[in-house]
Amino acid sequence: MVLIRAEGNALYDSADLRFDPASAGAQVGQTVRWLNTDTLVPHTATEDHGLWDLGGTYGATPANPPGFGPGTTVERPFEAGTAHYYCRVHPAQMHGLIAVPVALSIERPATRPAGPALGSAPAHLRRPHRRARAPRRGRRGRRRGRRHRPAKHRPAKRRPTPRPPASSTPTPVVSSTVVAQWASAAPAAGEAFDVQRRRPGGTWEPWLTATTETRGTFAGGAPGTAWEVRARLRRLSDDTQATDWSPTATVTA
């Protein structure tokens, strides 16, 4: 969890009104919590385009909206993007930023079991070992005596073991899969995500536009191939009302 303090008291010195820290980082799905350390006035944490608004019912006046009161907290889990926000009660003084990169990982294909050694013959091509013949019997069915010379055992001629034909087809390169996650939950109604990718040093290209999915995959290519991914939260009906792009996340296949 990331904790941000909404500090200061406008009754004493409006210059002390601030979010502390003003800039913070988080991971996809991590909760950011705001704590009102003031003793009197309310605060809110409101995204610049109103994509999210964390307030309350404390301290409403004809001139100011309500917010979360002293000693209380508001919180939300974060998606990828760089979100600028402010306090609606003190818009001139209190501004903050939350930066969340896309979470990237690699899924590698399972290793195939090793085949037979090169040059070994398949079982159905292997010749069985021949057994020596028994000595022949005489005319009367009896074994011949001393005059009989046992036949010389001659080993069977062995045929050369056939080798499997050499393959002329090169071994295919199996691609890894890049897994990207930019949110832990679907966006609110009327909102969506844009996701872009590129090779390092290349031009960003749209991957997913106005999607409500929270994660996706694509082929990572040969081992050693690097990818960069970024995402943002936007209003579904107007892509100009969006957070800034998330910090660039990098992964190598």
Is residue 141 assigned to a domain?
Answer: no
Mean pLDDT confidence for 32-56? 96
CA 225 to chain centroid, in Å, comes to 15
Contact 44, 73 (CB under 8 A): no
pLDDT tens for residues 50-73? 999 999 999 988 888 999 999 999
Check pLDDT > 50 for residue 148.
yes
Domain at 225, CATH number: 2.60.40.10
Q: Which among 100, 134, 159 is the end of a domain?
A: 100
Give the C-alpha distances (Å, rounded to integers) separating 95 from 5, 14, 60, 61, 129: 12, 13, 20, 21, 88
Please determine, for residue 122, whether its predicted confidence score (pLDDT) is greater than 70.
no
CATH of the domain at 25: 2.60.40.420
In this prediction the pTM is 0.75
Tokens 């209003």 appear where? 235
More confident residue, 158 or 13: 158
Query: Using CA atoms, how far apart are residues 62 and 236, in angstroms rounded to an integer?
Result: 33
Asked if residue 211 belongs to a domain, the reply is yes
Question: What pLDDT was estimated at residue 110?
Answer: 72
Residue 208 inside a domain? The answer is: yes
Quote the domain boundaries for residue 43: 2-100
Does 132 have pLDDT greater than 80?
no
Residue in this structure with the two tokens 């610049």, named with its chain if needed: 48
